[in-house]
Amino acid sequence: MILIQSFNAMDIPELFRQGRPVFSFEFFLPKAPQDIAGFLQSVRQLKELRPSFVTLTYGAGGSARDKTIETAGRIQSEVGIETVCHLTCITHTKAEVSGILDRLKLLGIRSLVALRGDTPKDGPVAPASQRDFAFARDLVAFIKARDRFHLAVAGYPEKHPEASSPEADLQNLAAKVQAGGDWVITQLFFDNDDYFDFVRRARQSGISVPIVPGIMPVTGYAQLKRFTSLCGAKIPPAMAERLEAVQDDPEAVVRYGIEYATEQCRDLLDRGAPGIHFYTLNRTRSTSEILARLRRSL
């Protein structure tokens, strides 16, 4: 029987040392301010599943940045779930990051997902040599030197799209961990062998922190193809065939996504994964059903 840990004062790295699977959910901030109330209600519904923590993706510019920080604090204080705020650095100066860290500390946020971030679509970005933070490892090192936040960093079982090779990508991950990353959350994937091969290679390279698989239940075939084209993840042929057959039936796609993710998570946990990080896409149904099935079978 898997015990899902509830919100408490335990630091996240300590959760991974308890020997029980750690379950977490990722949310993204709604774009429309009027949708925040409904979003927080969805988070409250998933609180019933007793996640160990949730993460909130980061709106890097202007009002989106402020709203992300504010909403992370509200999830932490009003909903009562340990909240990990994403922080990207590609457009930030050290002074800006320092200000953000101060605000997050005041809101009771103790952990972050430290990321370089994608190139903004609404404007140019200075070359890496001219930025305060050229890479995610620079952000990790800056935060660790300044504050006592716990940090998650990103890993890519199938290689980051910009990496020159899997070996170079793994070196980048090792640098982030060496700089102070406390645990790794992987990009989404659908073939568990890719994850376990990634973990094996990471351990051989000296990376010893927990490597948590990131799982996205499929809720739409067109959306899946768009996401995988952006992040470089592959869709297994058998999965693509099943989804193509039902792509015009939204309910059938969701049902298949639940079935596939449940079996994927069960196999990951049976083979020693330290937990599951669900990319919820702000939807409660699939994640709720998957965890319910896991509880019945494990």
Give the count of beta carbons closer than 10 Å to the beta carbon of residue 118. 11
Token pair, residue 253, equals 């796609």
33 vs 89: CA distance, rounded Å: 24
Beta strands at 53-56 and 111-115: parallel, antiparallel or unpaired: unpaired
Give how far Cα 275 sits from Cα of 19, 211, 213, 257, 272, Å: 10, 9, 7, 19, 9
Place of tokens 């019945």: 296
User: What is the rounded distance in angstroms from the CA atom of residue 133 to the CA atom of residue 265?
Assistant: 35
**Residue 244 host element (H or E):** helix 237-246
Six token digits for residue 177: 């961990």
Name the residue among 60, 114, 49, 63 with its Cα closest to residue 84.
114
Pick from 50, 54, 52: nearest CA to 84 = 54
Of these residues, 26, 82, 158, 289, which one is catalytic? 26
Q: Which residues pair with 111 in a beta bridge?
A: 84, 150
For 62: left if phi > 0, alpha if psi spans -120 to 50, otherwise beta; the answer is: left
Which neighbouring-strand residues pair with 275? 22
Active site residue 263: no
CB-based burial label for 123 (10 Å; 0-12, 13-18, 19+): exposed
Cβ–Cβ < 8 Å for 7, 249: no
Positions marked active-site: 26
